[in-house]
Structure 1
Amino acid sequence: MRRVQFRRITAALALVAVAGLTGCATREPANAPAPSSGAATGFPVEVSVPGGTTGLKLEKRPERIISLNPSSTETLYAVGAGKQVVAVDDQSTFPAEAPKTTLSGFKPNLEAIANQKPDLVLASNDTDNLVTGLGQLKIQVLLVPAATTLEDTYAQVSAIGKATGHAAEGEALATRMRADIDKIVTDTRKPARPLSYYHELDNSLYSVTSKTFIGQVYGRFGLTNIADEADKSGSGYPQLSAEYLVKANPDLIFLADTKCCGQNARTVAARPGWQSLTAVKNNGVVALDDDIASRWGPRVVDLVRTVSSAVSAAAAK
């Protein structure tokens, strides 16, 4: 249940206005860091993150880093700063070697964080005045909020690389991510007509609209989001009804609740009335990795690749 709540909260932080912009996680180019020089030169540096920290000055390369959000954890390792990471939060599940602890990004414990003797903490939010509290302990905090656009993701990768002494690696990774995503979208076989889709956050039928970060990913492929009209509050994350879904009859269904809630094509087909859906009849139910589908780090390229495969398969029918 906590994983479901975490993914809903993480998703809700990524609301954005419509913008133009998915699950093999084994392909290396987007995630593997460029060769690191290992040098701690280039400091002091000043680092800013879109929507987060502005003008954080780091006098020297941090050697004891704590990450309090999974996307930052993944980015730290992807830019080559993994050896500097001494602790990550309880929601960070990738990579496997990350030193997972009981630290929480939702309810940060200043004493527990300080006990790790960090010289830099990465967090997505200034929860409970985290920045001020750690600042009083002479611990610097880099706020890296939920990305609202793919451009934000690229900027965050670059910023984290710069803050950790891996500026070249961060810039190279951001460039590769952008190039990979653009190429995947360009090379995807396009359907004769626009396809509709439903993205499932959990099995209580919470979804996302086109205004969200994840909605932008689907938007890159020209897909029509069936949840848009149901979002009367404008939150970006409406809870749909089974009746609404059956009536909308999406061409594709993307399940971001395969781990948390055990959902798959079989369980979807077994839902009352769902066996008649186009997505079910045409093998258009796509299982996503929950974590990849809820994070805005380097593995967003894998999410894009999965969506591309689904669109291409549907276009071939």
Structure 2
Amino acid sequence: MISFNKIINYTRAKIGFLSIALTAVLMIGLLPGCGSTTENTTSPVTTTPPPTTDYTVTFPLTIKDQTGQSFTFTKPATKIVSLAPGNTEIAFSIGLDANIIGDTTYCDYPPAAASKPKMGGFSTADTEAIVAAQPDLILTANLHITKVVPQLQSLLPKTAVFTLNPKTIQDVMDAMILVGKITDHLKQATEQVAALQAKFDSVTSKTVPLTSFQKPKVLYVLYPDPLMTVGPDTPQYQLVELAGGLSISRGMANGYPTMSIEALVAANPDIIITSGMGTAGSAKDQILNNPQLQTVAAVKNKQVFDIDGNIIQRMGPRLADGLIAMAQVIHPELGIK
């Protein structure tokens, strides 16, 4: 296994859901030059191997969440409320199904998550329902930090309001280990991280050897109108590059910048990947039917693909599936499964 020290180092920045990004549109960035070279710049995603096979967690346990806040758990957390779909998927993936006593209206994967009591919406929390449930662990996300977290800490001072704030693929792996520790599910978490590693390796073992000449120019469209893409510090950008593409948003602003139609035409991507719906029908259809984009190589050659946004935008274990899906459309000749 290649050391994680070779992973792409990204500047950390807040990553919100689509509707949050739409209310905080960044300035239009300048597209980079796309001159080809033979240099291979893609680094594989790898995780730090566990230092031991002893998965015993000793309580009391003092540990920090992904915002740096310290918590002391006198015993494993067993009654969990999850306030973000990515958090819910992490918890389910490490075997905490029976321990989840509530999640959000957006938590729909795995299917069992949809049947859990609903205790919040997109960026809100049903504090009355949460207090009534008396959880010993509330898994929050970055969009809750300013308002929801302090509110819950005030209402439930003895409950750990623990924030998962992953901004890279590695951060997702780390979040899984954190939740595994505080719930005494470290063995399950470590095994799931290893399984994800195998998925990433199945892709990067084929894409890392590619040269720039072999990599198509790719645009990932988060939203078509206004045209919003992903900056270099986002996991979606990382997925494009690891899948063997050259993101045309390289050099743009961090986060989720907008770009003009003129800039898109000038960049002339070979492949465009969309996720979700646009203002009128699917984002894919809006791109394909835009008369201003008919000369763009991706549109002209019908190389516009829609991938389920849940496996690309949710900060959970299905990012590995998102990487596989991206690699399949960017490099179908590699036979990645």
Same fold (TM over 0.5): yes
Confirm whether residue 103 of structure 1 aligns to residue 120 of structure 2.
yes
Q: Which residue in the other structure is 1:142 paired with? A: 162
182, 203, 226: which one aligns with 2:224: 203
3-state SS of paired residue (2:162): strand
Correspondence 1:217 to 2:239 = yes
Partner of 1:304: 323
- Identify if the C-alpha distance between structure 1 residues 259 and 275 changes in structure 2 by more than 3 Å, giving closer, same or farther: closer
Which runs of 5 or more structure 2 residues have no equivalent in the other structure?
A: 1-16, 27-40, 45-55
Partner in structure 1 of residue 132 of structure 2: 115
Distance in 2 separating the partners of 1:71 and 1:9: 21
Instruction: Give yes or no for contact 2:206–2:334 (8 Å, CA) kept in 1.
Output: no
Q: Helix, strand or coil for the counterpart of 2:305? A: strand
Matched, 1:124 2:147: no
| In structure 2, distance between residues paired with 1:84 and 1:10 | 35
Q: How does 1:245-260 map to 2 (within 5 A)?
A: 245-258=264-277
How far apart, CA to CA, are the structure 2 residues paired with 1:129 and 1:66? Answer: 13
1:62 aligned residue: 77
Q: Contact 2:140/2:162 (CA < 8 Å) preserved in 1?
A: yes
Query: Within 1, Cα distance between the matches of 2:88 and 2:23?
Result: 18
CA separation in 2, counterparts of 1:301 and 1:42? 31
Higher relative contact order (CA 8 A, sep 6+): 1
Counterpart of 2:125, as a letter, is P
CA RMSD after TM alignment: 3.2
Unaligned 5+ runs, structure 1: 13-17, 22-39
| 8 Å contact kept, 1:53–1:142 | no
**Same amino acid, percent of matched pairs:** 23
Indicate if the aligned counterparts of 1:48 and 1:54 stay in contact, CA closer than 8 A: yes
1:221-240 equivalence runs, <5 A: 221-229=243-251, 231=252, 234-240=253-259
The count of aligned residue pairs is 287
Return closer, same or farther for 1:75/1:173 CA change in 2, 3 Å cut-off. same
Contact 1:62–1:120 (Cα < 8 Å) also in 2: yes
Q: Can you list the C-alpha shifts for 1:227-248, whole angstroms capped at 9, x where unaligned?
A: 235x3xx343111122221221
Counterpart amino acid of residue 172 in structure 1: E
Q: What is the match of residue 172 of structure 2?
A: 153
The 5-angstrom pairing of residues 267-278 of structure 1 reads 267-278=286-297
Match of 1:184 in 2: 203
One-letter amino acid of the counterpart of residue 269, structure 1: L
What SS does the aligned partner of 2:332 have? helix
- For the residue of structure 2 that corresponds to 1:47, the secondary structure is strand
C-alpha distance in structure 2 between counterparts of 1:310 and 1:119, whole Å: 43
Q: Describe the superposition over 1:68-89 as per-residue Cα deviations: whole angstroms up to 9, x where unpaired.
A: 1111100000000011001102
TM-score between both structures, scaled by the size of structure 2: 0.75
Trace 1:54-93 onto structure 2 (pairs within 5 A): 54-93=69-108
Change beyond 3 A, Cα 1:10–1:57 = farther
Which stretch shows the higher mean deviation, 236-245 or 180-189?
180-189
What CA distance in whole angstroms lies between the structure 1 residues aligned with 2:25 and 2:79? 29
